[in-house]
A and B are shown apart, each in its own frame.
Chain A
Amino acid sequence: MSILALILKEIHHRKINFALGLLAVVTAVTLFIGFFTAGKASNRETARLMLSMGYNMHIIAKNADMNQFLITGIADETMPEQYLTKLASQKRISYNHLLATLQKEISWRGLDVILTGLAPEVCPPGRKKPPMSFEIEPGSVYVGYRVAESLGLKQGDRVKIREKELTIFRCLAESGGADDIRIQCRLPDAQEILEVPGRISEIRAVDCLCFADANDLVTVLRKEIGSLLPEAQVFQAKAIAEARAGQRQMVRNLFAVIMPFTIIACGVWIGVLAIMNVRDRQQEIGIMRALGYGSGPITLLFLGKAALIGLLGAVVGFLLGTALALNFGPDVFKLTAEKMIKPEIFLLIVSLIFAPVFAAVSSFIPAMIAVVYDPAVTLREE
């Protein structure tokens, strides 16, 4: 009979002890999965919510009127489109999203509208991220609420902007901001309409940071970007950047406080159960010692059981944590849950590695107590 068979038979015999141990691991893993998923979703949700506040780094043409830009949000000069790929391919500045736009206020069907051409969002190499803005098909437009309302436009309508024919992909809901008078299309379409091929008016960035150590990040970024994109000027929406960083830090802090506490509590719980198990099994340990079993098999009996509990707890905890996240996530993170909350296989792998180790470490002291039991004493006790 193998040690594993002994462990399985003992588990079957002392089901409550096993179930309580399993519950401890499941609790720890479920909370880990839950917090991790919630933390990630929270970051994404914040980013999505802040999208309406704008990106936190703006790069516009050097000769653009900054005052005008700050008033209207539209740069009155353009710069080369290649600046986007240049910025994306350098290695001294990190970013999470880069978005090139071409914007211009135009008059269309008697309305003053903002025509915005969007290039596909650029993410760092190897880090595919869900886009923060629309992904527009060539020949399609998104029409702002007020424009659609004023002109009686609806989805599927064919419209002509200057000489370019486009199809309305969607009429947007009221935003209460400039988006209501915006017509958004793909960058090449906008370039064609505005007759500025290969030009953009702005690059927006999220979480744009320089790798160099510096207190004044904007100054350093200006210097770095200045040498890279000589026809550009840079400024940072500091409040947005700080708010985003602050929110992320808050989630990290929460994770850092609650997870160790939970893990310690569950570890103690497993340890106490293991001690109770060892006490229950004193006579069994004594007779095994008397029969000639050494410390190795006795230790394996207890640590093996703990590892088995950890393994099973990892699977159950992962399933439970994921199920909870999938079930309750959409109620909490209304904007992004559908895309962001999904089963994370790497979390299952992490759980399968760490939960058995965690359970075994928690049971280590009880296992050592079992090993040092004096069989002469335990077998004499009646």
Chain B
Amino acid sequence: MVVLKNVAKTYRTRRGEVHALSDVSLHIEKGEFIVLCGPSGSGKTTLLMTIAAMLRPTSGSVCIDESDLYGINIRERAKFRARNIGFVFQMFHLVPYLNIIENVLLAGRVFGQNPRADTAGDLLKQLGLAERAFHKPAELSAGEKQRTAVARALFNRPQIILADEPTGNLDPDNADSVLGHLSEFHRSGGTVIVATHGQTAERFADRVVYLRDGSIEKSG
């Protein structure tokens, strides 16, 4: 379970302070599919990064399974992230010099062991990328890149997948395909949190949380 209590995040810029999140409290049950919705600048990505243990809030707390994410040191937080959280980003963020299977295996290498290539191969097969396994990201379509990112997110069998505008650069068919794979993960008991300003993801969601100016406008 993910619990955010009175989370606020303020960025200090040359032009003054920007309140990206203000007093956000949110409970996300294990196995829930949540869509964080809202216009650009509403704080969706900031909230996602805060849940991802990558952005310390200015105030408030973030707990996952009763573990306070920002009460542990940075090394422990990185370990926690590697074991429990998978990421999917709008810009895919694949490593350009690694082929597809190596990009997926990169997620497993973090534990200092040689990750199993056959597991990565199975994942790519499930996501329809088996024939692209040895291609470089530059040789793939946007949809294939995003499915590779999904495979990488799934590789360590995380509890939670955080997706930031995962369909932002995809055509409707590919968007459906990617959301379908996230939904499959959700059906197998995983928690999915998707930040988006569109409405494509809402039909897969158990709950939609609307953000505006850094606060939760409504949830339901």
Contacts and interface: CB of A to CB of B under 8 A. Distances in A.
A18 to B, nearest CB: 12
A177 interface: no
Nearest to A12: B97
Contact of B93 (A12, A287, A374): A287
Given A290-B52, A294-B78, A376-B49, A382 B91 contact: yes
Contacts of B81: 290-292
B90 interface: yes
Interface string B41-56: 0000100010010110
Among B54, B75, B90, B91: residue with most chain A CB under 10 A: B54
24 contacts: A1-B105, A1-B109, A6-B98, A12-B97, A13-B97, A14-B97, A287-B89, A288-B106, A290-B81, A290-B93, A291-B81, A291-B82, A291-B110, A291-B152, A292-B78, A292-B81, A293-B78, A294-B75, A379-B87, A379-B89, A379-B93, A379-B164, A380-B164, A382-B91
Contacts of B91: 283, 382
Contacts of A289: 54, 78
Interface residues of A, number: 24
A330 interface: no
A343 interface: no
B107 interface: yes
A375 interface: yes
Given A284-B96, A290-B54, A292-B79, 9 more contacts: A1-B109, A284-B93, A287-B95, A290-B52, A291-B81, A292-B82, A294-B75, A375-B54, A379-B89
A13 B45 contact: no
B81 to A, nearest CB: 5
Contacts of A288: 106
Contacts, number: 69
B97 A9 contact: yes
Interface in A13-37: 13-14
A286 interface: yes
Interface string B127-145: 0000000000000000000
A10 interface: yes
Given A1-B105, A376-B54, A380-B49, A292 B93 contact: no
Nearest to A13: B97
B184 to A, nearest CB: 21
- Nearest 9 interchain pairs by C-beta: A292-B82, A13-B97, A376-B55, A376-B49, A287-B93, A292-B110, A376-B54, A292-B78, A9-B97
Nearest to A6: B98
Given A10-B97, A380-B45, A1 B90 contact: no
Given A289-B54, A294-B75, A382 B90 contact: yes
B161 to A, nearest CB: 12
A305 to B, nearest CB: 12
Interface string A288-315: 1111111000000000000000000000
A31 B55 CA distance: 48
B21 to A, nearest CB: 13
B100 to A, nearest CB: 13
A293 B98 CA distance: 17
Contacts of B106: 1, 288, 291
Interface string B83-95: 1000101110111
Contacts of B54: 289-290, 374-376, 379
Contacts of A1: 98, 102, 105-106, 109, 114
A24 to B, nearest CB: 22
Given A10-B97, A376-B55, A379-B93, A291 B102 contact: no
A376 B21 CA distance: 15
B136 to A, nearest CB: 9
Nearest to B114: A1
Contacts of B164: 379-380
A6 B172 CA distance: 35
B93 A283 contact: yes
A290 B94 CA distance: 12
Contacts of A380: 45, 49, 164
A379 B98 CA distance: 18
Given A12-B97, A13-B97, A290 B110 contact: no
A10 to B, nearest CB: 5
Among A286, A287, A291, A293: residue with most chain B CB under 10 A: A291
Contacts of A14: 97
Contacts of A12: 97
A283 B82 CA distance: 17
B40 to A, nearest CB: 11
A15 to B, nearest CB: 11
A12 B95 CA distance: 13
B110 A286 contact: no
Given A1-B102, A13-B97, A380-B45, A290 B79 contact: no
A292 B155 CA distance: 13
Interface in A263-288: 283-284, 286-288
Contacts of B98: 1, 6, 9
A194 B163 CA distance: 103
A292 B78 CA distance: 4
